[in-house]
């Protein structure tokens, strides 16, 4: 007999992100840009999901919505059983240590004045309070 399936680590159900875009001209009406429209998927612990598509299809907007960097228009978003859309900024702060995004434009996302070790250690450094703890994660990558 098989073991019961664990709940997904990430559960996305019918997620949509719509932007209101002003029209051109003095009588133009606003239009709705449906950047992400009705996306659903689950990701189990230790599972990897790749999101692919043509340029401009909403991949980056979806990733930003999953991290609550852009507002969602509708849908449900649960991480580790918690409703991310119901959390305020203070409740999201501790979860940001577990959630990451790597932006697709390295020239905009990576600071050329920083070393690779500094870039890798930047997020843990912000989360850690002790100086030794700030250095440990990036140094561990090079061993």
Q: Is the pTM of this model over 0.85?
A: no
| CA-angle at 79, arms to 75 and 82, nearest 5° | 85
pLDDT band at 143 (very low <50, low <70, confident <90, very high): very low
pLDDT at 55 over 50: yes
More confident residue, 63 or 130: 63
In the three-class reduction of DSSP (H, G, I as helix; E, B as strand; rest coil), residue 131 is classed as: helix
Quick one: three-class SS letters along 68-90? CCCCCCEEEEEECCEEHHHCCHH
**pLDDT of amino acid 119:** 78
Q: Measuring CA to CA, how many Å separate 52 from each of 14, 40, 63, 90, 92?
A: 18, 15, 12, 32, 27
Domains parsed from the chain with CATH numbers: 10-102 (3.40.50.300), 110-143 (no CATH)
pLDDT at 93 over 70: yes
Nearest by Cα to 127 from 138, 116, 143, 142: 138
């Amino acid at each position: 007999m098989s073991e019961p399936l664990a709940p997904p680590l990430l559960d996305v159900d019918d997620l949509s992100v719509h932007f209101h875009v002003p029209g051109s001209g003095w009588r133009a009406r606003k239009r709705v840009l449906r950047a992400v429209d009705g996306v659903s998927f689950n990701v189990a612990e230790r599972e990897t999901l790749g999101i692919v598509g043509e340029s401009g299809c909403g991949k980056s907007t979806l990733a930003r919505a999953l991290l609550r960097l852009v507002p969602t228009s509708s849908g449900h978003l649960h991480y580790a059983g918690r409703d991310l859309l119901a959390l305020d900024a203070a409740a999201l702060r501790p979860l940001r240590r577990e959630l990451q995004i790597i932006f697709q434009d390295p020239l905009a996302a990576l600071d050329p004045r920083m070393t690779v070790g500094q870039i890798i250690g930047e997020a843990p450094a912000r989360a850690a309070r002790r100086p030794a703890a700030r250095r440990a994660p990036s140094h561990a990558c090079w061993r």
